C-alpha cells in the first residue's frame, strides 16, 4: 500500500471512530411565544421616588423592566445582632439581592401579651441595616413558620387555648392581628411604599400542606401537629408530593385571603405577597405569588435519585405537583431550594457541595424567573430563659442550625457560596434579558429518567432566535462520570447553530454551563460561544467590559455574526468561519479583544470563582471581599492573598490591617497586588478529662483577627460544647468535621474554658446508612465507635482597602 493510500485510510478510520463515538443532540426553537398576561394580579406598588414593582404571568418587573430576584434566607433571630451587618455584606458579595427572614412568633411573644424586639430579636434594626446596604427584604410573617423551630414558631401558650390554631376562629385571628400589628410597628417606615427595602411579605407557610409537631408531648406518644382538626387529613410534617385532593380547598383559600386582609389592615401593604405553593398548599388566588421549593437531600424521606436534575417546563409543571393554582397565571419563583439541609438525630444527610450549582442551573434553565435559597446563611437556634427553642420532638440539634448552607452557622463560607456567585452575577447582568425567554426542551428530554446518567441533560431559554443553552452533568445518589464527545445543534427559524462550531466537547462530572446564542453583547452579536457570560461593567466615557469564563472540557471559542472589526486581540486567535468571525483562546488562559468601544475578556472558571463585583469593577482574591461603601474589606484565613482588579486602576491603593504590594499583572488590563497579613497563632490547650469529655483553653492572642475557628476532627454520634455549664452549641456528626466560630463567645472564654462532651455511634442507630462507607465499616466491626483526632484553631484575618 502506498503512503498516500495508507494516510487516507488512517484518516478515514479516525474520522469513522470519532463519528461513531460522537453524541449528537438537537433542539428546535419554537416559532411562537406564549402570550403574556398582565393586569390580572392584585400585586405591585410604587415608592416615593416613583419606582415601581409589578408582576405579570411570567416575571416580576422593576420600573417596567424584568427583575430577577435572588433570595437568600437568613434568620436574624438565629444570629448575633452585632454581626448582622457583616453577614448582610457577605450575602451581598455572594450576589443575593433579596433577604428572606422568618419572624418566629414564639421568639418574640414568649409570654402572652409581652413582645420582645430587643437585641438579637431587633427586627427594626435588621431591616435598617438591609436598607443601608441596598438589600431588598421579604419578611415571612407567619403566624406559622416551621423552620425547625419549636412548634413551628407558634407560642407554647396557644396549645392551651379554647380554639384551634391555623383556623378561621375569631379568637385565633385576634392573636394573629396583634402579631401582625407588632410586626407592622417594627417595619414602620421600612416598607417599599415608604421608601424602605421591604418589597414583600410571606403569608403563613405551607398552609393545608405541612405542620410542625407540638412540643408539649410525652416520650413515645404520637405527634400532635400544629394544625386544625379540619386540615389534619391533608397536612404533612414536611414537604411532600400529595394526591391533589383537598375537600377544604375553598376554606384554605379563604383563610389565606383573611391573613392578607389582616396584614393590609395593619399597614403591611407591599408590592409582593407570597405564599408557599408546593404540594397543593393554599394561596391567595390572584393575590399572591405561589413560590416553589426543591430539596435534593431531605432529612424527612429516604434518599433516592431526585427528579430535580432533569430539565422541564417548571412553570407549567412545578416541582412537588400537583398544585392548587392555575400555573399559567403566575411566574415561577423558587423560594426554598436547598443548597444544604439540616441534620437530625435519626437522619444525617450529607449535601455534596458540588450538587448545588447543577441544581440551580437546571432550575433557571427550566424557566424559573426568581430563585431563593433555604438556608443561604445558617445560624444558632436561640435559648431563652434556659429553654431550647429547637424542634426537639423531631430530634433536631438543640442549637446548631448550620444547615450545611453556603454561609455557615458562624459566617464561614462553603464552596457552593462561590459557585452560586457565578450564577448570581450572570442573573444580575442578564436576568432582564433572560426573564422573557421561555424554556425549550429537546425531544430526548421526554425519555430521560434520574437513573439515566449517560444522556446529556440540556435545555434552552429563547425568545425568537436568541437565547441561552443550559447544560448540566450531575445526579444525586447515583454514580456518574464525564460525558465525552458531545455536540449540540440549535435549529432557529433560518439556521443551525452548533456547539462547538466544529468538533465536539466534554461535559465534566458535576459540570454546568450557560452558553449564549444570537445574543447581542454591546457592539458584537455572539452567534454562539462555548464560554459563559459572567458580568458586564460600565466605565466612564461609554466604555463597556463584557466578561466571560471558560469551562474545563469546552475549548473556548466565540463565533461573531458576520465579519467583525476586531482590534487589540490579546492572546487569542481570530479567523473567518463560514462567513462569520471565530475567536478562540487557550484553555485556562485569559484572552481578550475589542470591538468598537467594548472590551470582551475571557477568564478561566478558577479565576471567576474568586471574583467579586464592586463599584463596576471586578476584584479577584482567594479571600472574601465585602463592600462597606466607605472601604472594601478583605477577609481571609490565609496570610498571603492575591488581589487582581479589572479593569486596571491608576489611582493609589492603601490598606490598613495588612501590607499591600503591587506586582506584575496577571494579564493585560488587570492590576495585581499581594495582600499579606502578619501571622497570628492563637494557642489552644486541649486536656482529656475522660473518654468522652475534653476541655479546651484558648489564649487571648486574637489582636487584629476577625474571628478564630476551632476545628474538631472526630467520628461519633454527636458533640456538645459548654461554657460555664451552659450548652452554647452542638453538632450531629455526618462525615464532616465540626467547626465553631469563637468570636461570639470571646468574652465568656476570657474567664472560662470550653467543655466538650461526645457520644459514640452505635450500630443500631437509624442514620448509619447516611454516613460514609468507612464510618459504617468501623461501627459495624465493633458495634460502637468513637474517635477524636486533632483539635486546632484557624485564625481569620481582616483588612480594609481604600482607593
- 217: part of which helix (H) or strand (E)? none
Q: Which residues of the chain are modeled with pLDDT < 70?
A: 1-20, 540
pLDDT of residue 345: 98
Q: Which residue has the cell 486533632?
A: 790
Residue 297 phi, psi (nearest 5): -125, 65
pLDDT of residue 159: 98
pLDDT of residue 9: 36
The answer to whether residues 731 and 715 touch, using CB atoms and an 8 Å cutoff, is: no
Nearest CA among 490, 468, 439 for reference residue 26: 490
Beta strands in 103-197 (DSSP E): 136-142
Domain 684-767+781-797 has CATH 2.60.120.260: yes
In Å, how far are 245, 342, 638, 712, 754 from 736, measured between CA atoms?
Answer: 41, 13, 21, 10, 21
pLDDT of residue 648: 95
pTM: 0.96
Chain centroid, CA 95 distance in Å: 9
Q: Which residues contact 331 (CB under 8 A, 6 or more apart)?
A: 55, 56, 57, 58, 59, 60, 289, 315, 369, 370
Three-state secondary structure call for residue 117? coil
Question: Could you count the other beta carbons within 10 Å of the beta carbon of residue 614?
Answer: 15
The answer to whether residues 277 and 286 touch, using CB atoms and an 8 Å cutoff, is: no
d(CA 443, CA 314): 16
pLDDT of residue 765: 98
Class (C level, CATH) for 64-433: alpha beta
pLDDT of residue 803: 85
The domain ranges of the chain are 21-32+439-608, 64-433, 611-676, 684-767+781-797
| CATH number for the domain formed by residue range(s) 21-32+439-608 | 2.102.20.10
pLDDT tens digits along 760-787: 999 999 999 999 999 999 999 999 999 9
pLDDT of residue 10: 33
pLDDT of residue 419: 98
pLDDT tens digits along 581-619: 999 999 999 999 999 999 999 999 999 999 999 999 999
pLDDT of residue 548: 98
Nearest CA among 206, 259, 256 for reference residue 236: 206
Amino acid at each position: 500500500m502506498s503512503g498516500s493510500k495508507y494516510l487516507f485510510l488512517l484518516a478515514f478510520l479516525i474520522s469513522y471512530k470519532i463519528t461513531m463515538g460522537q453524541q449528537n443532540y438537537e433542539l428546535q426553537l419554537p416559532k411562537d411565544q406564549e402570550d403574556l398576561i398582565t393586569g390580572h394580579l392584585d400585586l405591585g406598588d410604587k415608592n416615593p421616588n416613583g419606582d415601581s414593582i409589578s408582576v405579570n404571568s411570567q416575571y416580576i418587573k422593576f420600573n417596567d423592566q424584568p427583575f430577577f430576584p435572588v433570595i437568600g434566607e437568613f434568620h436574624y433571630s438565629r444570629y448575633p445582632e452585632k454581626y448582622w451587618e457583616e453577614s448582610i455584606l457577605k450575602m451581598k458579595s455572594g450576589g443575593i439581592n433579596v433577604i428572606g427572614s422568618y419572624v418566629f412568633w414564639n421568639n418574640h411573644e414568649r409570654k402572652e401579651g409581652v413582645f420582645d424586639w430587643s437585641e438579637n430579636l431587633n427586627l427594626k434594626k435588621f431591616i435598617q441595616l438591609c436598607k443601608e446596604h441596598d438589600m431588598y427584604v421579604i419578611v415571612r410573617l407567619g403566624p406559622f413558620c416551621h423552620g425547625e423551630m419549636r412548634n413551628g414558631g407558634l407560642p407554647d401558650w396557644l396549645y392551651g387555648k379554647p380554639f384551634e390554631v391555623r383556623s378561621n376562629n375569631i379568637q385565633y385571628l385576634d392573636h394573629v392581628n396583634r402579631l401582625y400589628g407588632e410586626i407592622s410597628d417594627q417595619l414602620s417606615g421600612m416598607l417599599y411604599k415608604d421608601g424602605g427595602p421591604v418589597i414583600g411579605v410571606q403569608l403563613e407557610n405551607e398552609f393545608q400542606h405541612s405542620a410542625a409537631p407540638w412540643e408539649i408531648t410525652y416520650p413515645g406518644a404520637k405527634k400532635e401537629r400544629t394544625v386544625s382538626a379540619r386540615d389534619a387529613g391533608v397536612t404533612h410534617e414536611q414537604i411532600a408530593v400529595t394526591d391533589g385532593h383537598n375537600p377544604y380547598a375553598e376554606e384554605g383559600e379563604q383563610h389565606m385571603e383573611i391573613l392578607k386582609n389582616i396584614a393590609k389592615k395593619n399597614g403591611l401593604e407591599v408590592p409582593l405577597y407570597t405564599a408557599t405553593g408546593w404540594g397543593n398548599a393554599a394561596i391567595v388566588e390572584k393575590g399572591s405569588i405561589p413560590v416553589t421549593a426543591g430539596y435534593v437531600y431531605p432529612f424527612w424521606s429516604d434518599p433516592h435519585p431526585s427528579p430535580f436534575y432533569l430539565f422541564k417546563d417548571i412553570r407549567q409543571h412545578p416541582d412537588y405537583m400537583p398544585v392548587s393554582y392555575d400555573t399559567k397565571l403566575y411566574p415561577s419563583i423558587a423560594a426554598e431550594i436547598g443548597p444544604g439541609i439540616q441534620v437530625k438525630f435519626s437522619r444525617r444527610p450529607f449535601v455534596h457541595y458540588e450538587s448545588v450549582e447543577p441544581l440551580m442551573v437546571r432550575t433557571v434553565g427550566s424557566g424559573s424567573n426568581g430563585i431563593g435559597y433555604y438556608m443561604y446563611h445558617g445560624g444558632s437556634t436561640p435559648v431563652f430563659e434556659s429553654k431550647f427553642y429547637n424542634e426537639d420532638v423531631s430530634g433536631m440539634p438543640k442549637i446548631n442550625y448550620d444547615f450545611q448552607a453556603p454561609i455557615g452557622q458562624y459566617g464561614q463560607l462553603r464552596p457552593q457560596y462561590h459557585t452560586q456567585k457565578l450564577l448570581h452575577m450572570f442573573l444580575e447582568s442578564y436576568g432582564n434579558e433572560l426573564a422573557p425567554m421561555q424554556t425549550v426542551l429537546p425531544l430526548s428530554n421526554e425519555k430521560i429518567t434520574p437513573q439515566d446518567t449517560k444522556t446529556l441533560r440540556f435545555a434552552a431559554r429563547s425568545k425568537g432566535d436568541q437565547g441561552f443553552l443550559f447544560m448540566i452533568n450531575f445526579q444525586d445518589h447515583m454514580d456518574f462520570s464525564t460525558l465525552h464527545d458531545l455536540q449540540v445543534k440549535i435549529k432557529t427559524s433560518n439556521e443551525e447553530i452548533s456547539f462547538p462550531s466544529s468538533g465536539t466537547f466534554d461535559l465534566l462530572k458535576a459540570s454546568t454551563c450557560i452558553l449564549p446564542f444570537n445574543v447581542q453583547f454591546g457592539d458584537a452579536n455572539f452567534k454562539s460561544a462555548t464560554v459563559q457570560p459572567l458580568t458586564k461593567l460600565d466605565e466612564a466615557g461609554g466604555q463597556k467590559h463584557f466578561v466571560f469564563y471558560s469551562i474545563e472540557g469546552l475549548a473556548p471559542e466565540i463565533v461573531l455574526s458576520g465579519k467583525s472589526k476586531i482590534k487589540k486581540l490579546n492572546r487569542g486567535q481570530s479567523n473567518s468561519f463560514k462567513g462569520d468571525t471565530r475567536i478562540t483562546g487557550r484553555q485556562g488562559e485569559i484572552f481578550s479583544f475589542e470591538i468598537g468601544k467594548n472590551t470582551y475578556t475571557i477568564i478561566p472558571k478558577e479565576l471567576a470563582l474568586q471574583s467579586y463585583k464592586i463599584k463596576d469593577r471586578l476584584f479577584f482574591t482567594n479571600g472574601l471581599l465585602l463592600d462597606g461603601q466607605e472601604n472594601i474589606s478583605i477577609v481571609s484565613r490565609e496570610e498571603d492573598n492575591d488581589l487582581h482588579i479589572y479593569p486596571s486602576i491608576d489611582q493609589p491603593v492603601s490598606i490598613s490591617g495588612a501590607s499591600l504590594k503591587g506586582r506584575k499583572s496577571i494579564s493585560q488590563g488587570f492590576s495585581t497586588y499581594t495582600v499579606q497579613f502578619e501571622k497570628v497563632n492563637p494557642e489552644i490547650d486541649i486536656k482529656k478529662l475522660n473518654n468522652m469529655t475534653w476541655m479546651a483553653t484558648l489564649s487571648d492572642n486574637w489582636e487584629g483577627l476577625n474571628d478564630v475557628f476551632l476545628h474538631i476532627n472526630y467520628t461519633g454520634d454527636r458533640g456538645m460544647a459548654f461554657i460555664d455549664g451552659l450548652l452554647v452549641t452542638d453538632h450531629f456528626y455526618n462525615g464532616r468535621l465540626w467547626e465553631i466560630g469563637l468570636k461570639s463567645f470571646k468574652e465568656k472564654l476570657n474567664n472560662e474554658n470550653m467543655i466538650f462532651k461526645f457520644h459514640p455511634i452505635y450500630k443500631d442507630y437509624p442514620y448509619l446508612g447516611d454516613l460514609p462507607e468507612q464510618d459504617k465499616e468501623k461501627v459495624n466491626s465493633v458495634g460502637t465507635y468513637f474517635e477524636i483526632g486533632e483539635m486546632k484553631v484557624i485564625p481569620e484575618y481582616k483588612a480594609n482597602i481604600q482607593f
